[in-house]
Structure 1
Amino acid sequence: MLKIKLALISVIMGFFVMTTAFTNANIQDNSQLLDRKTSKLIRAKNDRYFQTSEQPRIVVRTQKGIEHLTPKHLNKSHRTVFIVVGSQKKKRNVQIYSSKDLHSAFSADVRGNILRSQSEKLRSNNQKEFNVGLRFVFKACATTIDQEYQYALDQYDLTNDERAQITHPHRMALPIALALVLVISGLALFLKKHSHVENK
């Protein structure tokens, strides 16, 4: 009876160590940039992924230095997305990498649109604002993974309005561009009339 109890305790402890190691491996905050809310989001979503058959992962890593951000084991990884933050003095460089099996879901356009939608916040030296942007990027990656594997979207994914910020990253630039066209057209018309009067 004692042997059975000891064996059971060993199995439970082993399972706890394994799941804890899995969760902690998804956060590597070497530059101490992540706040509690961001860390909680990363753990919670990855814990959900751990319960699926595919077991995808989103690893968030911060490092000192804004170059050489590519993860060392990227080519050997499976069903993994890396969000890597490089920091040097007041400069920040945030990049998204994916394992080969997720390349189609995380094309250069998708990654670029996600990062551009939060570029202002990601460059901010205000830790709170930076973390808001980083959480958005994380949720965007999670939403992309969930759509790829046809998982039900949950509270850790982007809302419809937030998804629109990524699918239409230049939506705010369009009215400005139209206004510019109108101004240039008006100016051209004015100059044309003015030169016509002078020629008379």
Structure 2
Amino acid sequence: MWKVWPINLKKTKINLAGLVGLLLVFLTTTGFVQPNIEDHAHILNKETKTLITEKNNRYFQTKEQPQISVITVKRLNKLTPKALNRLKRSVFIIVGQKGEKRNVQIFSTKDLHGAFTADTRANIIRAEVGKLRSHNNATFNEGLRFVFRACATRVDQQYQYALDKYDLSTSEQNKISHPHRVALPIALALVFLIIGIVYVLKRFGRNSYNPRN
């Protein structure tokens, strides 16, 4: 009877090893190994966190398994992620906060530099700069979700994934691709407004100094 115990113990070790292996596979495929949300500054709301989680869960089902992480920190500078040079197929949206000031920056690993050029990153931020400067947290999160969706759209285009509900619409993409075109109607409206004001002032001034006989 005593000779049976070593055999059973050996089988138990094998079973435990198998369970650990299955657990690691499960954690890898469900996205718990490397978290995509680090909210050290307590900025992200529930809707933003849900978007980040659901989109990254879709990425874990692909062959390439890209990742888009959103990290908030309590500082405005030195926002470059420490793991940036060690990773592949990764995008980081870093939000720095100090007092009422916030700084949003986008970083990508070397293999995604073509999809995230300096101009592209700047245009993504510029497209929603009004909301990203807002002191209202709900409004800021709305702008941040746009930034995340813009990054997801670039990643999906890079790997030729089918666009889904988390990606930008065509009109939203135009805000990034043609930022000056979007601002042009506003600029023209301001020009016409100024011309109109000048015309009215000149007309009013001319009539004021016109003597009546």
Pairwise same-fold verdict (TM > 0.5) = yes
Alignment of 1:1-200 (within 5 A): 3=12, 9-18=19-28, 19-22=30-33, 25-178=35-188
Tell whether the 8 Å contact from 2:59 to 2:67 is kept in structure 1 after alignment: yes
The Cα shift of 1:172 comes to 4.1
After superposition, the Cα gap between the structure-2 partners of 1:179 and 1:120, relative to the gap in structure 1 and judged at 3 Å, is closer
- Return the letter of the residue paired with 1:73: A
Which amino acid in 2 is paired with 1:147? Answer: Q
Structure 1 residue identity aligned to 2:32: A
Aligned residue identity for 2:74:
K
Moved more, 83-92 or 8-17: 8-17
Which runs of no fewer than 5 residues in structure 1 stay unpaired? 191-200
Q: Contact 2:41–2:74 at 8 Å: present in 1 too?
A: yes
Q: How many residue pairs get matched?
A: 189
**Percent sequence identity over aligned pairs:** 55
Q: Is 68-77 or 108-117 further displaced after alignment?
A: 68-77
The 1:77–1:173 alpha-carbon spacing in structure 2 relative to 1, beyond 3 Å, is: same
Specify the SS of the correspondent of 2:181.
Answer: coil
TM-score, normalised with respect to structure 1: 0.83
C-alpha displacement of 1:40: 1.1
For residues 77 and 13 of structure 1, do their structure 2 counterparts lie closer, same or farther at Cα, with a shift above 3 Å needed? closer
TM-score normalized by structure 2? 0.78
Q: Distance in 1 between matches of 2:166 and 2:71?
A: 19
Larger displacement relative to structure 2 (96-105 or 71-80): 71-80
Partners of 2:89 and 2:112 within 8 A in 1: yes
User: Which residue type is aligned with residue 95 of structure 2?
Assistant: V
CA contact (8 A) 2:92 2:106 kept: yes
Give the gaps of 5 or more residues in structure 2: 1-7, 203-213
One-letter code aligned to 1:32: H
Question: Offset of 1:58 from its aligned partner?
Answer: 0.5
Which structure: larger Rg? 2
Q: Distance in 1 between matches of 2:37 and 2:114?
A: 25
Higher deviation after alignment, 89-98 or 7-16:
7-16
Q: CA deviation at 1:77?
A: 1.7
Aligned-partner Cα distance in 1 for 2:131–2:189: 27
Letter in 1 for 2:27: V
Aligned letter for 1:135?
R
Separation (CA, whole Å) in 1 of partners of 2:163 and 2:154:
10
